[in-house]
Amino acid sequence: MTSAPTLVEPKRTRGRPRKTEGERDDGNRRQALIAAAAQLFHRQGYDATSTREIAAQVGMQPGSPFYHFGNKQDLLLAVMVEGMKQASERQRAACAGLSGDESARERLRVLIRNQFDVLLGPDSDFIPVMLYEWRSLSAEQRQTITQIKDEYEAAWIPVLQALHHSGQLQAPVALARLMIFGALNWAVQWYQPPPKKAAKKSPPRASLDELTEAALALFLRDPA
């Protein structure tokens, strides 16, 4: 009598198990909701935007957002977290392009230029929503965003300290950081990009590079 064949368990791959097709689709739909919410919150305001509109923007049923988010406020938090995540990734990439031999002034130029790109460049709906709709979060949610924002701004502190030490930045570093970010972030209220083909009598509009140079001239003294 032959013995029963031994069943060999398949080898388990290391790391996280692969997501099923349905799980991948859920992740994509969640990201689509966040992107649509960012766009509508930016254009219309948080209070004026319904979850029904957000769902319609991505071709979902009216109740579908609540499968991914407990309520509209949770979706607002997700928009802000995603915005800060993208801003942090862009900032890391911008700083990674530095050789390490740049002056503190040049490093600040890179940080400011990246900040303008985050605020005013392509896919820039997320951070303006954070600036406009901050009060719509709960106290606990605001604490979450504050922690992420502080981590993002931490990269600026050594640069500002070096500039303060050299005499190019005269204000105390802590106050300078707050005032610099306040000035840069306010650009979302008034900035208009240069038109591709400007009319002869239209007023000149600054590019993001020109805004960066203007900000440096405003914040810093010329190096001695």
In-domain check, residue 66? no
In-domain check, residue 8? no
In-domain check, residue 20? no
DSSP 8-state class, residue 11: P
What's the rounded Cα separation, in Å, for the pair 204 and 216?
20
Please, which pLDDT band fits residue 7 given cuts at 50, 70 and 90? very low
In-domain check, residue 96? yes
Indicate the number of domains in the chain. 1
In-domain check, residue 10? no
What's the rounded Cα separation, in Å, for the pair 164 and 75?
40
Per-residue pLDDT tens over the stretch 98-107: 888 999 999 9
Per-residue pLDDT tens over the stretch 105-146: 999 999 999 999 999 988 789 999 999 999 999 999 999 999
In-domain check, residue 187? yes
- 3-state SS, 122-179, equals CCCCHHHHHHHCHHHCCHHHHHHHHHHHHHHHHHHHHHHHHHHHHCCCCCCHHHHHHH
> Domain containing 157 — which CATH number?
1.10.357.10
Above 60 in pLDDT, residue 21?
Answer: no
Q: What's the domain range around 137?
A: 72-219
In-domain check, residue 19? no
* pLDDT attached to residue 100: 85
Per-residue pLDDT tens over the stretch 47-102: 999 999 999 999 998 888 888 999 999 999 999 999 999 999 999 999 998 888 99
Q: Is 88 left (phi over 0), alpha (psi -120 to 50) or beta?
A: alpha
pTM of this prediction?
A: 0.80
